[in-house]
Amino acid sequence: MEIEEQWRNFEPEDDILEELFGKVKVSGLQSHGVLSKLRKNILSSTILSLVATAYLFWATFYFAIWQVQVMLAVVDVFCIWILVISVRLYKGIDPQIDPSLSLLEQLNNTRAAMQHYMDVQQKVSIFIYPLSIAAGFLIGGVVGAGKPIEAFIGEKVVIISLIVAIVVLTPVNYFFARWLFKLFFGKQLQQLDTLIKELEE
C-alpha cells in the first residue's frame, strides 16, 4: 500500500483530546506560548521599573548632596530610557500566531522577539546596574558613616571600594541576566534555531 493511502487511512482517536474538547471553553483559554510569557515578563518588570524610577526621583530630591543628586539624575535618565524601550518592546511583541505568515517567518519572528528581549535585559545590566551601585554606595556610605559627602569620597579606601564594587558587580549582573535568560528560554531558543536551520538547509 502506498504511504499516501496509509496516511489517509490513519485517523488516530485520542481519548485525552476528545475529553478536553468536551470540557474546554475556548473563549476562556489563556496562551502559554513563549511570546505571551515574554509579554508578561516585560509587563511585570516594567511595573517594577516604574516603581523603582519613582523611588529614585524621590531620592534625587531627598538627598541634598549634589554629587549623589547628579549620580541619581543620571540613573533616572537611564531608567526612563529603559522604561521607554520596555514599553516599545511590549507593544512590539504580538503573542498571536499569524496564519498569513509562513512557518519559517513565524519561527524567525519568534526568535527575533526573544533576542530583542535578551538585548534589553543586557542593556539594563550594563547601563543601569553600575550607576545604581554607585548611587547606592554613596547614599549608604554617607548615611551610614554620618559624614559629609566630601569627607566620605575624600577617603582613598572609599574610592577603591566603589571602583571594585562596580568592576565586580557589573559583569556579575550581566552574566546573571544572561544565565537567567538561558535558564528560562535557552532550550526553546535552541529548538527554534534547529528548526530554522533545518528549513533553510
Partner 1 sequence: MDEQRFMAYIRENQGLLNKLIGLYANDPEEKKDLYQEVLYQSWHGRQSYRNEAKFSTWLYRVCLNTILTHKRKQKIVTYTDDVEPLAPAIQHQALATEDSKRLYQAIRRLAESDRAIISLHLDGYDNGEIGTIVGISTGNVAVKIHRIKDQLTKLLKH
| Contacts with partner 1, residue ranges (CB under 8 A) | 1, 3-4, 6-14, 16-18, 20-21, 24, 26-27, 29-35, 96-107, 110, 187-188, 191-192, 194-195, 198-200
Cα(75)–Cα(56) distance, rounded to whole angstroms? Answer: 8
Least distance between partner 1 and beta carbon 78 (Å): 32
Cell numbers that stand for 178 in this block: 544572561
* Sequence-separated (6 or more) residues with CB below 8 Å from residue 152: 138, 141, 142, 145, 158
Task: With beta carbons less than 8 A apart as the criterion, state whether 127 and 78 touch.
Answer: yes
Least distance between partner 1 and beta carbon 3 (Å): 6
Nearer to partner 1, 89 or 131 (CB): 89
The cell 526621583 sits on which residue?
A: 57
Least distance between partner 1 and beta carbon 101 (Å): 7
Nearer to partner 1, 113 or 131 (CB): 113
Nearer to partner 1, 145 or 199 (CB): 199
Nearer to partner 1, 18 or 157 (CB): 18
The CA–CA distances, whole Å, from 200 to 100, 112, 192, 196 equal 19, 16, 12, 6
Cell numbers that stand for 151 in this block: 569627607
Least distance between partner 1 and beta carbon 88 (Å): 22
Interior angle at CA 126, CA 122 and CA 127, nearest 5 = 115
